[in-house]
Chains A and B, each alone.
Chain A
Amino acid sequence: MSINTASVPLPAWLEVVVIPILNLLMALFSAGLIMLAIGVNPLEALGFMIQGALGDDYALGYTLYYTTNFIFTGLAVAIAFHASLFNIGGEGQAYIGGLGVALVFLLLDRYLPAVLLVPLGIAAAALFGAAWAFIPGWLQAYRGSHIVITTIMFNFIAASLMVYLLVNVLIQPGQMSPESRAFEPAAWMPSMKAALAPFGIDLVSTPLNLSLVLALVCCVLVWFYIWRTRWGYELRTAGFSEPAARYAGIRPRGVIVTAMCLSGALAGLVAVNEIMGVHHRLLLNFPAGYGFTGIAVSLMGRNHPIGIVVASLLFGVLYQGGAELAFEIPGITREMVVAIQGLIILFSGALALMLRPLVVRLYLRVKPVESLGPATA
């Protein structure tokens, strides 16, 4: 008789390290097959990618700049996941976060100093992102509409709204391309180069800016919130078991709305990196799929900030390396990265359990008896 492998517990290192790495390898192996199919040597490509992403300061700067976005969107997906909500709306929430930044700066950047403008911009990004996530959260909690469908719809609604605003309202007068005017430098998020210059560290100029620090701070905050506060405790309780939450006097509806707002706020912070840190103006389509990548990042990082940082770095390497790869090898484009991302979501997410029965069987062969059944009778 076959055993039910799903109920066999595995040690943490197999569950958290080995299986995710195997899943990642399957994804990369499939990507290698695609490269072979279009006549590219995958190992050569891998070399170019690593060189292009980590080879020098310039490459590293770009890699970390991408990493920053992925940390924000990865955390956004993760915090919702802990409440067992699937927020696919990171893309739209980031977009609307950008709107918040732009509105604040277009109104105030000529009157206030940087010490006020930068925090205000960050707050606006978070607040607008949160507001855009609040509606689907509220609809799920109080009207029973499914969060996945609503957040998908909200991505499109956000896109239409932003096109309208940029084309008709926020566009800089006398200009053709739908962009807002540039913000005053006081509203810019300082670049890493500028921030480190006073310490005698001389970096090359890249899009990397202090948002990376903000992202890392968010990692700590999210970790603290989820595992060290009673609100995080309530969020996880409701995520694991709604009956247990009700037993413990927790209102699942409140948790849903709170979790979505926090998730939206984190997604909104992408605008800090992109709008305040790099473009210094509001422009079309700046979230560029980062919101969706956050899902892959969170899945790979097992919804834990440390895992998310590691996964974000990996995706940063993929994005930057992919761009360089497109330079180096004719016939390959940076969309290869998008395809790899799809494969990673497939193998680390949808097929995450595919290899588990195999691993369980191997594990039991090595270590048969004691792993079955509870720790003590």
Chain B
Amino acid sequence: MSTSVSGTGAGDLALELKGITKRFGAVVANRDISLSVRRGAIHGIVGENGAGKSTLMSILYGFYQADEGDISVGGKPARINSSRDAIAAGIGMVHQHFMLVDTFTVLENIVLGAESHALLEPNIRAARAELARLADEYGLSIDVDALAGDLPVGEQQRVEILKALYRHADLLILDEPTGVLTPQEADQLFRVLRSLKERGVTVILITHKLREIMDITDEVSVLRLGEMVAHRKTDSTSMQELAELMVGRALDSTDYSRNEALRADASTGIDVQDLVLERDNGTRRLDGVSLTVRRGEILGVAGVAGNGQSALLDVLSGMTAPTSGRFVINGREAGPDDLPSPSEMRDLRINHVPEDRLKLGLVKAFSAAESSLLGYQRAERFNWRGVLRLKSIRRLCASLMADFDVRPADPRLRSASFSGGNQQKLILARELDKSPDVLLVGQPTRGVDIGAIELIHEKLVEMRDAGCAILLVSVELDEILSLSDRIVVMYEGRVVGEVDGKEADKTTLGLMMANAHQPQQAVAS
């Protein structure tokens, strides 16, 4: 397994991991991971969501302690039990969510924790000089007196890099650094990383974007399901190979997708036109999305998490009003000012299986019966003038549990005590039971065991065959491929491609998701 890059002596290694394993309860987040990072290299680590990248980085920065395995930094064995240890070992980390104090100036953020003098002023003065030097050396100029919270994200990230350099880090780890950046900002970042490399700083770049890996790294390691499955020199691999390695689990899944002919004249269930959703800071979660879902069809929405799929579900389910754009859902028109509420959506026979089942889909402290009522507490079936019909609620829950094989089939158990798969089956059962015309589904099998996946897929297909229009958001390519009649790929808030479910293959989709596909496949927008 550990095909570490040859030709490197131990003394040349900036970082070496041997047999790192980390468990959370019964879940193994990292299994027997070995990794060698050459001094002065830019080393990429790629993997899907949930492949264990973040856990590994948290171990390196002292957030977690590995259950097994050894870490050496710069050839010396290291024990990293806290951020302090990591900093002392010369590791700098640029977290995905920046660790900045918004109300502080850039200078204050940079000296925080690295002040050598008890008074602030001498520290600030020293930092000002040092930052001027760093700006010269690495092209990292920044307004050091601006408040961190006022800076655009690209510059906030620059502050994080400067923080690490100010602490004399010679190993810089960046966790999904371009996720929040514009392409221009990303280019700037890469220029900075190259100049860091020229001056001997080792860089570890964690990303799921293959194009970045190809552009900037010297070596690359691939994580899949918590295991390190391959190490390659970047110039001797290709995006295709990496995409396959990354998503590669060859589950022989059933292809449920149907031919175009079978659904040619089906009417429209969802028709979305130019939907835009802006964050408070003006950046866009949805950036002009248009798509349609017909009745009796599953439209798969593929994409790496965080590219606008969640926002799409939020808007279509009535939870978040869009900034602009309109959509028609089950015959009802909606836009920024006339968005039906989630309960009105349910009345319109539009149901929603949310992505985050623990936060939205059920209430952990509720009994299964109570969770099986969530969203339908106003329905006449379940209450009489406000008084809950507990018997029928419990009876319904029991029958949902029987239909969807939820175990243990006890409506009185706390929702939290069910496994992920059984929680998910309960939520799906609740929503499908109302035989909706339109179904919005987010990550239906995330963290769900294999047996449950099959059942969930069959139930969704059953609904589709009954004429329901289904919008399926999933980061699992296998799932998308297996279920979808048509597939759209989202990237940075936009639909960047559409493929027929029958014709799609994993590699093409993987490349589209990483926005590395050939231009002719893109939808002109």
Chain A residues engaging chain B, CB cutoff 8 angstroms: 1, 7, 9, 228-231, 233-234, 236-237, 240-241, 243-244, 246-249, 372-377
Contacts and interface: CB of A to CB of B under 8 A. Distances in A.
Contact of B413 (A247, A249, A373, A375): A375
Contacts of B319: 246-247
Interface stretch (B125-133, B247-255, B357-365, B507-515): B357-365
Contacts of B378: 230, 249
B360 A244 contact: yes
A8 to B, nearest CB: 10
Contacts of A9: 417
A236 B366 CA distance: 9
What 5 A-B pairs are tightest by C-beta distance, nearest first? Answer: A249-B343, A249-B342, A247-B360, A248-B375, A374-B419
17 contacts: A228-B388, A230-B387, A231-B386, A234-B377, A237-B377, A241-B359, A244-B360, A244-B361, A244-B374, A247-B319, A247-B361, A249-B344, A373-B25, A374-B417, A375-B417, A376-B418, A377-B26
A228 B422 contact: no
B334 to A, nearest CB: 15
Interface centre among B341, B360, B382 (most CB of A within 10 A): B360
B356 interface: yes
A376 B422 contact: yes
Contacts of A374: 417-420
B418 A375 contact: yes
Contacts of B422: 376
Contacts of B417: 9, 374-375
Contact of B65 (A1, A231, A233, A241): A1
Given A230-B386, A230-B388, A231-B386, A247 B363 contact: no
A228 B393 CA distance: 11
B433 interface: no
Given A243-B356, A247-B354, A249-B375, A1 B342 contact: no
Interface string B339-358: 00111101000001010100
Nearest to B345: A249
Contacts of B346: 249
Contacts of A1: 65, 67
A103 B126 CA distance: 69
A243 B65 contact: no
B407 interface: yes
B408 interface: yes
A360 to B, nearest CB: 14
Contacts of A247: 317, 319, 342, 352, 354, 360-361, 374-375
B362 A244 contact: yes
Contacts of B505: none
Contacts of B408: 375-376
Q: Is the interface of B mostly helix, strand, loop or mixed?
A: loop
Contacts of B386: 229-231
Interface of B: 25-26, 65, 67, 317, 319, 341-344, 346, 352, 354, 356, 359-366, 370, 373-375, 377-378, 382-383, 386-388, 390, 407-408, 413, 417-420, 422, 449
Contacts of B383: 229-230
B356 to A, nearest CB: 7
A244 B407 CA distance: 23
A234 B449 CA distance: 31
A248 B418 CA distance: 21
Among A233, A240, A373, find the residue whose CB has the most chain B CB atoms closer than 10 A: A233
Contacts of A377: 26, 419, 449
Contact of B363 (A7, A231, A240, A376): A240
A228 B390 contact: yes
A241 B373 CA distance: 15
B343 A233 contact: no
A228 B390 CA distance: 8
Nearest to A240: B363
A229 to B, nearest CB: 5
A240 B361 CA distance: 13
Given A228-B388, A249-B341, 15 more contacts: A9-B417, A229-B383, A230-B378, A230-B382, A233-B388, A246-B319, A246-B360, A247-B374, A247-B375, A248-B374, A249-B344, A374-B418, A375-B417, A376-B408, A376-B418
Nearest to A237: B363
Contacts of A372: 25
B377 A233 contact: yes
Contacts of A234: 377
B150 to A, nearest CB: 22
A246 B345 CA distance: 12
A249 B340 CA distance: 10
A246 B339 CA distance: 14
Nearest to B413: A375
A248 B419 contact: no
A328 B377 CA distance: 56
Contacts of B382: 230
Contacts of A241: 359-360, 363-364
A227 to B, nearest CB: 8
A243 to B, nearest CB: 5
A228 B391 CA distance: 11
A188 B434 CA distance: 54
Given A249-B343, A249-B346, A375-B419, A229 B360 contact: no
A377 B65 CA distance: 26
Nearest to B347: A249
Contact of B374 (A228, A229, A237, A373): A237
A231 B387 CA distance: 9
A107 B10 CA distance: 93
B425 to A, nearest CB: 11
